[in-house]
Amino acid sequence: MIPTSYPPSEEIARLTARMLLEIKAVHFNSREPFTLASGLPSPTYIDCRKLISYPRIRSTLMDFLTVTVMRNAGFEAFDNIAGGETAGIPFAAFVAERMALPMTYVRKKPKGYGRNARIEGAMSEGERVLLVEDLTTDGGSKLSFVDAIRDTGATCGHTAVIFYYGIFPETEKTLGDHGVQLHSLCTWWDVLAEAKSQNAFDVETLTEVESFLNDPRAWQEANKS
């Protein structure tokens, strides 16, 4: 069912951050930083995959994501909802259900046998496709999915995520230069504000996280092992 309530984007961001903290999807650790896929250290880590195990929160956030996309892109802007392998697949299914649209998913690389396909499901030339993912950091990983969608003859000018890091200034330019507009529910800044209001972490940790968010590249360079 398509949601009919439209909270302001600021309230959506605050509530999303609150829910992510409630299910302990947010991890802050300045003393023993996490290692990101890039190999660089970070005092922050988020696990949006946990959301699939919390139906009330999951349902609310999928309503938020659906109304955000419709409000920003249009109510009849899409013909197909595609999830990126693997984390985007369940969220694409939830959004597609709400929007009453077909759902597909995009493999990270061809499966290597059979049709050697990257697109699973029915996607047709000329369809307007929304790419759904759990999160984005610098936007780079989205480009391969977008290209695979476009290779079918479909178009893809929008991607929607639950969580956007919001600390790397090149992200929206990277996507924009590729003809893709980003839609998201909240950023690290929203999570930090909510964590402070809840006293969810000690002051030292929150201060170090804020330092990282203000200049992530410098923090990573200073904290390389």
CATH value at residue 52 = 3.40.50.2020
Q: Is residue 22 part of a domain?
A: yes
Contact 48, 54 (CB under 8 A): no
Q: Is residue 4 part of a domain?
A: no
Q: List the domain range (segments joined by +) for residue 28.
A: 9-222
Tell me if 141 is assigned to a ligand binding site: yes
CA distance 142 to 145: 5
Tell me if 107 is assigned to a ligand binding site: yes
**DSSP string over 163-180:** EE----TTHHHHHHHTT-
pLDDT digits (tens, 9 = 90+) for 81-122: 999 999 999 999 999 999 999 999 999 988 766 566 899 999
Q: Is residue 62 part of a domain?
A: yes
Tell me if 221 is assigned to a ligand binding site: no
CA distance 92 to 98: 10
pLDDT at position 6 is 80
Q: Is residue 163 part of a domain?
A: yes
Preceding amide of 86 cis, omega within 30 = yes
Q: Is residue 2 part of a domain?
A: no
| Mean of pLDDT values over 65-87 | 96
Count structural domains, the chain. 1
Q: Is residue 130 part of a domain?
A: yes
Preceding amide of 152 cis, omega within 30 = no
Tell me if 134 is assigned to a ligand binding site: yes
Q: Is the pLDDT of residue 223 over 70?
A: yes
Tell me if 176 is assigned to a ligand binding site: no
Q: Is residue 3 part of a domain?
A: no
Tell me if 140 is assigned to a ligand binding site: yes
Tell me if 139 is assigned to a ligand binding site: yes
